[in-house]
Structure formats: C-alpha cells, structure tokens
Chains A and B, each alone.
Chain A
C-alpha cells in the first residue's frame, strides 16, 4: 500500500539536492568517469521498416535543403552518404526509400534507453543521439570498469540498436570518442591528450566558420592544437572553443543534468480477503483517489486516462480502463465515473488487491478559468454528461454528426467521435433532406409515380479520390405526397433516390 518509487525523483525539483544518494562529482573524493553510449543509426532504427532489406535513408532539412541524415547499409553500398543532398542520393540510387527524420520518436527511444540505463548509474543524461552515464560511482557496485562495460554492452546487445561505447574521464571526451566510433576506454585524464590527439579536427562540434579557419591554418588533428599558444587560439577561435577544449581534457569540471523518469502514479489497496462486494471495492478505490489527486496537485498535472488493475487468485489479473473527455483531477468526477462503470461491467472474479495506475499526465489548465463564466460552466456540465454517456455505452457509441466542406452529398457529412474538435453544424444544408439513404436506391418502374418539383442541381466532382459523381439532383413528390430527393446519374442515365425530406 505505498506509492511506487518511480514517482519519487520528481520531488528533487521541489526540494533540490536533498537526496543523500545524489552523486556529487567533487564530493565523492574520486574523480568521475563517464561512459558514452552513442547510437549512430537511431534515426533508422526507430523506423517501422526493415531498413537493411533495401536502400533506406532518413532525411533531414538543412538550410531549406533536404539532406541525408542516415543511410542503411544497402543505401551506403550505392554511395548514399550522410550529409548528401537528397537529389544527389536519388541520382545514385533511384530506388532509395526515404522517411523524414522523426525526432520525437528518437527522443522517446532515447528516453526509454535512459530509463533502463538508470540501473547502471544514478546520473544519466540525454545527449543528441547519445546517452552519457557517470560510472565512477558505480564501479564498486558492478565490480570494476571492465565488468560494468561488459554488462552494459551485453545488455545493449539484446536491444535492436547499434551502439558505440566509449569511456573517458570527461563527458565531452567520452561523447567525442563514442561519436568517432573509437571503442576507447580511458580512465586517466593524463592520458587524454595523447589519445584524443589522434582524432581529426573535423569531428569537433564547431561552427562552419571555425572549421574552415582550422583547415585554412593547416591544422588537421587535435594534437596540432595542443602545440599552439592558448592566447592566440582564444583570439582566433573564441573563448568558448577553448573552454570546450578544457572540458574535453578534464582541465575544467563539467556537470550534466540528470535524466528523470516520467511521473507515474501507482497505488495499491489490499483487501483482507477475497471479495466481490462492490461496496468494498469502491471503498478501496475511494481511499486511493485522494492520493492520486494530491499527486497531481503537487505537480500541476491532470489526467485523461486511468487504469484500475485487479489482482485475483492464481495470479490472474483484469483491468478497467477509464477515460475522460477533458483533462481532469476532480475527485468526485473520477469517483462518479468509476461508479458508473461498475454499474455496467461485472468483475471477472473475486479480487485480492487492486492498483490504481496513471501513467499519462498532462500539464493542468484547471483552476485558471474565469470565476464567472456561466457558458463554460454549462459546457463543462455537458462534457460531464457526455463522459457519463460514454462511460456507460462505450466510447464508440456516442458520435457527433459533423458537416463537411464537400459538394458530394454522401461526403458532405460524417459521424465523428466526440473527443474530436467541436461539432460543426452551422450553415446547415439548404435544400438538402435530413434523412439520406445509406446507399442511393435505383428507381425502376416507380419513376412514373413521381413528379419532379424543382429545377435541377448539377453536382460533379470527386474524381481525385476515385468516387467521381456526375448527377442532376431534383426534389420530387411521390403519390403518397412524400417529398423525395432524387438524382439522375449522368454516367449511366438512371434515376436514384437519395433522401427524404422530413
């Protein structure tokens, strides 16, 4: 009956540096050691495709031009390289399949990986396409660097990602070495100069202008820099650049912001004995709800998805999913929803324990509403009614009728799920019946009994999606006096009934 630990780290932001186990690089008395995990193919790996089955490339935009960000092995065989213009790539490899770079997806994968990496170090930071782990503090726990390295490499081998691992005494050096694909493992800062000196200058994260200046002065490798006067370098390349070199060589300490797991609320309630009694179960849930609401208040969050997981005997579980139309952190509303649901659904078996789980939170806008806004008040009421209806009947059962901007009658309206934007019904159709047949009905002999009562309205369109129509519409009356909406199909000359006027 306790909140899971996963929710804890967020409190650091509220009460900074209170946590006793937070590593302080300078305070440990031991110089820190950094491990960098660089994922060179991440942008390809997040794609939902077998990128090595055929030439694939992920493209990115630079200076308004499409360029190759990463290319799969078959594409590289054809000469497609990172940094190449897309058009050039197509010239080499016309069958190249491409996808725009999906940065959010990459970031999400990286975050997942960071979550996992928290097991090796309490200090994990997210870098572009890479993770950085402070492992100095973890060495003892894992039995030395070699063992830790083997463990990390081994674990990552289970993952579908290619990774370059490098270890160095400074974060920047670890990152640089990993990016260069150097499987280096440097533990002494004294060794950094010699090791890094071999790297070409082109790998440094410098501006184009700086890069070209370095080339124009005939400098090729990092070691060429070590020989030059510091003051002269500052003058030519700027303080920032020298600062970077200092950090690279461990001459200047550097701190990174640690990655933090996303907030998850999870709280459980044990029943003294198995129960099917709804009263008990609802009581349990209602004990947990205030804690959930408190959790959200603290963090200025709200939810629209909530799960109740039931544990039955023999490790069986079942689950109840709840959703709200609007972001919510109102205890009563949540409670009502849950009660409504129990009126509909039956428990599959007696329950031993239940867990209230919320994993998706959003920044809350609640409480910022104007004090006197009756319209909104009513709207909220209406939303709550809808919530209740949906909870009771299922989400798909409640729909809006939505008008669409379209000439073709069949396409001029649609059902939409209620959680989509506002219903649009203004400008209600003129000269259109409210009742449309689901399929236009061909009029055979009955045509004789029908009298046209309007001039024709010609509608032609839709060729672009393959449902081209060409029709002359009329209003008409049949012998029972019903008002009909008919059309003559100009493609086959036949008459059809499309709708009835009320």
Chain B
C-alpha cells in the first residue's frame, strides 16, 4: 500500500512553495511514497533539481504543472510520456510569453487550441460546471482532485465531489495540495504569504492557511483522512506517467554542415585549414598527433556540432571585426586553436585535452567565448537571427534570497518598521558575511534575546537561498535542432527582445544539454581599439597575434607591479604579489592570475608557493602520483583542476565523483552539501597514506574555490590578454590609455587615475577643448609622420568631449559636425552654429573646454549662461558687454572645477597644492616612503582612491592613497578600523601615520593613526572605489 502525491509545488512557485524541490523529493522518499509530482505553477523551473535528487533517492518523479486560468479554473497537468512533456512545455511557454516577465496568462480558448493528448489532468475543484469543460478536453484523462486539509467540513466537501464524480462519470483521486515538505515549514509558508501580499503577518488573518496540513503527510496519516480507494487511485495515475527527464535527447543544430558532408568530415576540413594557417611551414608531428587524438575523441562523443556552432559564431565575430577569445576546458584544445576559437597555443601549456572532455563523464565540453562588451549584442542578435527565437534562448539565472533581501522581506513581514528593516539589513554590511550577529544587533539597540529578533533570525536562515525570480544569465545560450519549447519552457525576460528558458546553467548541465557562454569583456574592447589606433597611421590592421610573445621587458614591467590598467593583474592584491612572484614567462602569468584568489589564499597555498619559487623551501611531493599533478606548480595546488585531480589520484575519487565535487564546490555557498565529500576525501587520503594536515589543506582550498573557482583553463586565456595589455602599456602608453578611456567603464581604476598614471609614464595629456577634441579621446601626432622605418614618437593624448559631465550626445555630434564645416571663432558663433542647448554650453564652460575663446571658465560660464534658449533662428548671438566683475579662478578652484566637471584634472595633483602644509607636518610623499627604513614610523597623505576589504583577509581593510608622486598602500587592521571608523570611511584626504613595511619590492604602511583632512581640499569632489 502506498501513495503518490500528484499536486505539490516547490519554492519555484515563487513565494508560495516553502520547500526546495530536493527537500520534497527526499522527504517523499523517506515517507515511502510511490511517486511524487512536482507541479509548480506554470513552470518547470524546479524539475531538474527534483530529477537529480529523485535519481539519487530512486523515487518515481512525475513532471507536471499547475495552472489557473483567467476565469479562475484551476487544474494540474501531468506528463505521461515524452510527447506529453513537450506538450506541457509548449503550453507553459505560450502562457508565459503571453504575459510580462514573471507572470503568465491563459484563457479557456488558449487551452482548447492546444494539443494535450498525452497529458493527464486533475481538476482542482471550484465552480461545479468547470469540470464539464475539462472533461471534454481530457476525456478519460481527467480526475477530480479531493484535497482534504482538516477544515472541519472535509466530509461535506468530499460528499459534494462524490456527487459530481457520479453525475459526470469522472473518477475521484486524492491529492495533497502540498506546499512544503515538512510541517515545520509552516512558519516560513506564512511568512512567504506575507511577503507575497506585502502585508505584515499580524494583519493577514484568514489570508493565511488555517493550518500546516499542506505538507507531505505520512501514509498512515493519509489513511485516516482519505478513503482507501482515493489513495489507491493516485497509484493508477502515477503508473500512467512514465516520463523521465533522462529521455530528453538533445539534438545539435544541423545547418552548420553543408550538404554532402557529414559533421566529422566538415570539422576535420575546418581544422586542417586552420592548422595550415597556424603552422604555414607544416604542422609539427606533436601537433598532428594531438589533432588526430582530439578529433577521434570528438567524433566518438559526437561533439562535432558543438565545436562547429562555436566556430560559426567566432567566424561571424571575426567577419564583423569583433574581437573575441574562447576559454574553458575544451577551449584550450589544439582543435580550438586551429579553429581560431582561442589564441592559446596548446604547446605552451601542459594541458591535456582529455582531462576536460572525459569519455566516462559523457558531459558536453565547456567553452566560454568572451566578446568585446560594447559589441556583444551584435553577436547575440546574430544567434537569434541564425537559429530563430524558437530554437535559441538565454539560460536563466535563479535569483535567490541573499542575507540582505531576506532580512528586508522577513523583517517587513514580521512588522518591523521600514527604518528598522533597513538597519537590520545593513548590519550585514561589512565586516562579516554572517547574518545578524548578536554583537551588531546589540550595537544597534536590538536584543538578540528578544523573541521578535529570534523569529527573524530563524526565518532568515530558512529563507536564505530560496529562489525569488528568474533572471537572464549573463550570456549562456542554448541552441537546439528542433523547437526549443519541446525541451524546456521559454519565458520573457525583463529586457525587451530577450527570452530565457526556465532552467539555469546547472540544470542544463545536469541534463547534458549543449550550452555556450557568449560573454562580454571590456578589455577586449580596449585591446581592439588600441590595435586599431596603432595600425591606423599605416592603414594596416593588427591583431592580437601581431603582438610579439614573451618579451622580457614586458615581464620586467609586470614584475615592478607597474600594472595600472592591465587586465586581471591591476588590483591591489595582485600588485602586492607581483614583485614577489616576478612572472618571467607566460605560464608564470597564468599562475599569477589564479593565485590571488580565495581558493589558494584560504588553502594557505600562496606562501609555500612563493617560498618554493624563490628557492627558500625545497620542492617536494607527498607522492609520485601527486608529483604528476603538481609538478608544474612546484608541488603546490593552485588551480581548480589540480584539486580535482588530487581528489582522484590521492583520495580515490572516480572522474564522475570528482565532477560532482566540482559542482558541489560551485554551489556550496548557496546550498552547502560539501560534507559527504569532506569525509570521503579525508578517509580516501588517509587510506593512501597522506597526512591529515594535507587533506585538511586540500579541503580548505576546495571550500575557497567555491567563492570563485578559478580553473587553469580560464587563467590560460586571461593570461594572454594580460600580456597583450602589458605589451601595449609598455610600448604604446598613449595608445593604451586612450583605448582604456574610450572603453570606460571598466577595470579597477577611474579615468583620473589612468591619466595620472599615463602622465607619470611620460604621456602628454591635453585638455578637453572644443577646438580640437573629438567625442572620444584621441591621439594627436604633432609632426607629420614620414614613411620612414624609424619608430614614431609617442603621440599626445587629447581628452574627448564625452568626458564632459552633462554634455549631451546630441550636443557633441552637433558641435563636431559644425566644426567640420568651419572652425569656430568665438563662443557666440559656436553656440549659434552648433545649435547647442544652454545646458550643453554650461557643461562645456564648466569643463573649461571653452578656454580657447573666453579666457577663464568663470567668464565662459557667465557668457554661455546668458545665451537665450532656444536660439532664435537666423538671429545672431547677441553679445553682451563682455567684461563683468567676476572673480578669477585660482589654481585650487580650477582643480576642483576640473574634477567636478570631468572627473579629471591635468593641472597639478590636488595634493601638490597642499605640499607646503603637509611638509610642515613632516608628511612623506608616496615616493619618499620608499626611502624610509623598514619598520620605521612614517606619515603619508593622499586622496583616498580605494578602500577594499578582501574576503580573505579577516577584517583587514586596504586603503589606497594617491598623491602627486604616486600611490601608497595602507593596511588598516580591524581594531584600528573599528576605533577610527569615521576618518577611515569618510576621508577624501587622509593623513596616515604608521609603520613602514617593505618586503620583496612591496611597500605597505601599517596604519596607526588616521586623520581626516578633507577640509583642506575645499570643495574638491574625488571618488573612491570602495569595497568591491
């Protein structure tokens, strides 16, 4: 005797279901249910998770969905087979596409137009005559759902349904209207109701469920409530639903192979052609062997269409001159190198292709392709065009409750005031990732002991990780051979012209479907622009491949930590590591990029690696097996792949298990669930004779990777771009900064810092000027360039009009067009001819871009703000008497106005003005700190340009100061930070006294006393990038 639950929603019916799909499945298995249907409302978003869990629990999972039509008619549909699943998925897509994001809309007419021949229906009783309509649609496939939840009138209700059943000859079945896996989720269920209706719990009254019976009840309990026959009927229905998600067969798009070829041949032809290009003198034997091996593997696993799909997209990008680069495990294969998907020559890497496409795991290869961020949309629209909206869609991202949002929503439901809720939410603000720490609560005047706060904490913990809505993934595409809706429902995204599927990345992966990431990368935009600038004078086109590889001078610069603006290695943490690691070649750079990450840091891998590298510690391996894995990183695990391999060679994980571990790693922060792996890792390693300490270290690193798993395969691609950007900065500093400025926003530093850095590197920077500036920043070559072979002199950088705050794009365009016709002679003529609005003119005046005409910016401002608006047609700009009694700006005022109007000043650094005052207080410049003895006390001052609190450094805050000589790095320990919170957080100009620490070419000032001297700056508005 058993039972099958046929009406059960998970928390993917957002703000209604109070349990995760996995929890429901696991509970149903514990209760020995024969089957469980997950029937989220017009959604299949949770079914893959349920499916994965059901396979583990060996539970019969039924895929279904619940609907409520416009007129109130409610029913559940269950898929009996693959065809029925496709019908259900298509119906959901239709209803979802008919409504705004997050909603659905369906009428009886819609329903009748839709074929649902292979679905079963349960009528959720409402008006009695509804059943007649459904009975016509689902002859012999309709049941009346009897849902009894101890209302006190269950008997009468059942009697009523019996009558209907007899009158229409429709069978009755039991079902539970389940919304949670266990009774104890009742409080969360009530809270979700409050959140959904946006009404505090205390005022909800009868809108709350009367009791918590909507959970998975034991069979014994059910027999007390339902007649045996009704319970039995559920089994009959369940038996008819044989569909499993495993049956979904993914078919790759076929149009990529021309008539007369098969996919294998076609891929080979493309690879051969590419190989000829890469190795014009003939393909080396080693490479030839690799190609053959890879092609054989690809053919065996039938992955040709996947590689061809990506190849096609990359070809499109190349034809449009959109810079792109692949990364990810399969991207670093020889095949991808030949196809031009990546520029990483596999010969430079120790990577083995097979390690990433594994036969036994039978999962699709993973290739992400980065495109220039500004032009990625063109690629996306190409994909939609090529495959059609019914075959291509973006993968969803499930937005889940985070501490702040959970506190906000629960707090509101419990009746906290708006201000209280905001404070509680902000309490997770900075030192800790933990939620609602008693100490913080007390500081804010909340007692952690009060029952209200206790309820809040309990509920917030329950709610964390609950899905809230679906959003679009940054660039994950799924493309299929036939209509995608046969596979998964499609719904509208918030963005116009975008559609998403109801599954997220992990779901797609779990079902082994093809997915590729079309991502955006700002640095690619900058590099493409830089290559264009260099090539422009010669009218030639350069590509990344034209950048000479392995230039020692480039590595020298990187080792000096002279990396402002570079890709991936410009952050404070990276900069402090560079002089210690001193990368000398490409692979060092790959390590450098991966090592300054939470994984290696939390696993205590950084220090040992540095010691071994500098020869201060011997390179040893716990075993020969591990030597094979770790040799290239001197015996220290640094990459995600290495950790997985150690799990395999040292702890006996199978490839499949290692892959599960990888998934669990990625999801650990959200869901937990690493514990079983921890146990297995420890016991496995102990059995093979490794120390517990080593096992613990490996496990810590596994946990660290969950924050930001960084695989070697990605680092390898990033290192190429890091090197390219470094080469550009070294040999073409003006070009490089110009490209960066024109690709904003990106990177770690604001334009002002990029320009300061460029000036320190000898680039001449010229101000924004309406007579010369283009919309973007430009390069100005003063001497006419000869056709000689001489290296050309560095051009000067002319700042662009788009840096002027408040200047409209239309204004910029008008101005440039008018100037092209004839150069301007004065402000009046400019205003007249360019038809600029007064606000545009004022913005130009503020930015001192009119200095060529009006003298100082104050006079320019007076002049332009007198312009009548709108300018009368044909009427000459009517000049007032030009001389007015306005003050003259002094240098400090000019600097302040520069920052306010464009964020950049080419005058002296603001701190330089204060130098006499600072000298009196014996404040060192950033430069002069280097001459201070290590360990001595010193004082420095500067504009605060960044505050950072790395998640890895227990409460330490890094502050970056900038003065006219450069940047100084300040370390603030938590105690100091807590005690001097005000100057730390508020200062724009900060004087720091502390102890100088110099080591391996890195200098830190460990803060003792912080002094806020922002008042010295007057009205200067500087910007700091805080806590990213």
Contact = CB atoms under 8 A, between A and B. Distances in A.
Contacts of A404: 205
A406 B880 CA distance: 75
Contact of A213 (B207, B211, B861, B981): B861
A464 B201 contact: yes
A456 B897 CA distance: 77
A186 B78 CA distance: 87
B208 A213 contact: no
B885 interface: yes
Given A217-B861, A464-B455, A92 B422 contact: no
Interface stretch (A33-41, A108-116, A227-235): A227-235
Given A94-B443, A232-B880, A431 B897 contact: no
A227 B886 CA distance: 8
B187 A463 contact: yes
A293 interface: no
A224 B861 contact: no
Contacts of B897: 216
Given A95-B444, A232-B862, A464-B414, A458 B213 contact: yes
A86 B885 contact: no
Nearest to B887: A218
B155 A455 contact: yes
Given A94-B444, A232-B866, A227 B885 contact: yes
Contacts of B893: 218
Contacts of B881: 229
Size bracket, chain B contacts: 35 or more
A407 B208 contact: yes
Interface string A210-227: 000101111110001001
B151, B152, B881, B887 interface centre (most CB from chain A within 10 Å): B152
A97 interface: yes
B117 to A, nearest CB: 40
Nearest to B885: A227
Contacts of A461: 190, 208, 210-211
B150 A406 contact: no
Given A79-B982, A227-B885, A232-B866, A454 B152 contact: yes
B190 A464 contact: yes
Interface string B388-420: 000000000000000000000000001100010
Interface string B865-884: 11010000000000011001
B884 A459 contact: no
A66 B842 contact: no
A91 B426 CA distance: 9
A87 interface: yes
Contacts of A78: 982
Interface stretch (A22-30, A245-253, A280-288, A465-473): A465-473
Interface string A80-101: 0000001100111011011010
Nearest to A91: B985
A492 interface: no
A229 B884 contact: yes
A254 interface: no
Contacts of A79: 982, 986
B419 A95 contact: no
B152 A455 contact: yes
Interface in A464-498: 464-466, 470, 472-473
A217 B886 contact: yes
Interface centre among A59, A95, A218, A407 (most CB of B within 10 A): A218
> Interface majority SS on B: helix, strand, loop or mixed?
helix
B846 interface: yes
A215 B861 CA distance: 10
B842 A213 contact: yes
B922 to A, nearest CB: 26
Contacts of B776: none
Contacts of A465: 202
B206 interface: yes
A201 B982 CA distance: 29
A487 to B, nearest CB: 11
A457 interface: yes
A473 B151 CA distance: 10
A458 B202 contact: no
B206 A86 contact: no
Interface in B213-243: 213
A407 B982 CA distance: 50
Interface string B113-155: 0000000000000000000000000000000000001111111
Nearest to B862: A217
A377 interface: no
A59 B419 contact: yes
A406 B455 contact: no
B150 A458 contact: yes
Given A455-B154, A463-B455, A217 B858 contact: yes
A218 B856 CA distance: 10
Contacts of B206: 405-407
A51 B211 CA distance: 46
Nearest to A465: B202
Contacts of A458: 149-150, 210-211, 213
A407 B445 contact: no
Contact of B986 (A87, A92, A216, A229): A92
Nearest to B443: A94
A213 B152 CA distance: 73
B152 A236 contact: no
A94 B152 contact: no
Nearest to B893: A218
B440 A94 contact: yes
Nearest to B151: A457
B282 interface: no
Nearest to A218: B858
B180 to A, nearest CB: 12
B939 interface: no
A472 B150 contact: yes
B627 interface: no
Interface in B880-927: 880-881, 884-889, 893, 897
Contacts of A229: 881, 884
B811 interface: no
Nearest to B880: A232
Interface string A438-455: 000000000000000011
A235 B444 contact: no
Contacts of A91: 429, 981, 985
A122 to B, nearest CB: 43
Contacts of B520: none
A459 B208 CA distance: 11
A405 B204 CA distance: 8
A486 B329 CA distance: 68
26 contacts: A66-B419, A79-B986, A86-B419, A86-B422, A92-B982, A92-B985, A92-B986, A94-B427, A95-B445, A97-B445, A216-B842, A217-B861, A217-B862, A217-B886, A218-B889, A236-B862, A404-B205, A405-B204, A406-B206, A407-B205, A457-B150, A457-B151, A457-B152, A458-B211, A460-B210, A464-B415
Interface of A: 59, 66, 78-79, 86-87, 90-92, 94-95, 97-98, 100, 213, 215-220, 224, 227-229, 232, 235-236, 404-407, 431, 454-461, 463-466, 470, 472-473
Given A405-B207, A463-B186, 9 more contacts: A86-B419, A91-B985, A213-B865, A216-B897, A217-B858, A406-B206, A456-B150, A457-B151, A461-B208
Q: Which 5 A-B pairs have the closest CB atoms?
A: A457-B152, A405-B205, A218-B858, A458-B150, A227-B885
